[in-house]
Structure 1
Amino acid sequence: MLSRFLVAVAAMVAVVAASNVLVQFPVDFTLGAVHIGDILTWGAFTYPIAFLVTDLSNRAFGPQKARLVVVAGFCVAVVLSIWLATPRIAIASGTAFLVAQLLDVSIFHRLRDGAWWHAPMFSSLVSSALDTVIFFSLAMAPAFAGIDAAFGMEDSSLAFPAPLLGVGAEVELWQSLALGDFLVKLVMAVLMLAPYKSVRDLVLRRLPATA
Structure 2
Amino acid sequence: MNKALLPGIIAMTAIVVASNILVQFLFGNWLTYGAFTYPLAFLVTDVMNRVYGVATARRVVLAGFVTGVICSLIGTQIMGEFGPLVTLRIAIGSGLAFLTAQLLDVFIFNRLREGTWWRAPLASTLIGSSVDTALFFTIAFSGALSFIEPANDVSWAGEILPLLGAGPLAPLWVSLAVADWGVKLALALIALVPFRLIVGRLTAQFA
Same fold (TM over 0.5): yes
1:81 aligns with 2:79: no
Matches within 5 A, 1:31-180: 37-84=28-75, 85-149=86-150, 153-157=151-155, 158-180=157-179
Mapped partners of 2:147, 2:19: distance in 1: 26
TM score, norm. by length of structure 1: 0.89
Mapped partners of 1:82, 1:174: distance in 2: 23
* Number of equivalent positions: 196
RMSD: 1.3
Mapped partners of 1:145, 1:89: distance in 2: 12
147 and 83 in structure 1: CA distance in 2 versus 1, 3 angstrom threshold: farther
TM score, norm. by length of structure 2: 0.91
Mapped partners of 2:118, 2:202: distance in 1: 15
Equivalent position amino acid for 1:202 in 2: R
Mapped partners of 1:141, 1:154: distance in 2: 12
Give a deviation string over 1:72-106, Cα, whole Å, max 9, x none. 00011112123221111001000000000000000
CA contact (8 A) 2:87 2:152 kept: no
Q: Deviating runs (4+, > 2 A) in structure 1?
A: 1-4, 153-157
Give a deviation string over 1:169-206, Cα, whole Å, max 9, x none. 22100111111100000100011011000011112222
SS in 2 for 1:145: helix
Give a deviation string over 1:13-59, Cα, whole Å, max 9, x none. 100111111111111xxxxxxxxx22111111101100000001111
Task: Name 1:4's counterpart in structure 2.
Answer: 4
Mapped partners of 1:38, 1:21: distance in 2: 18
Aligned-residue identity in percent: 48
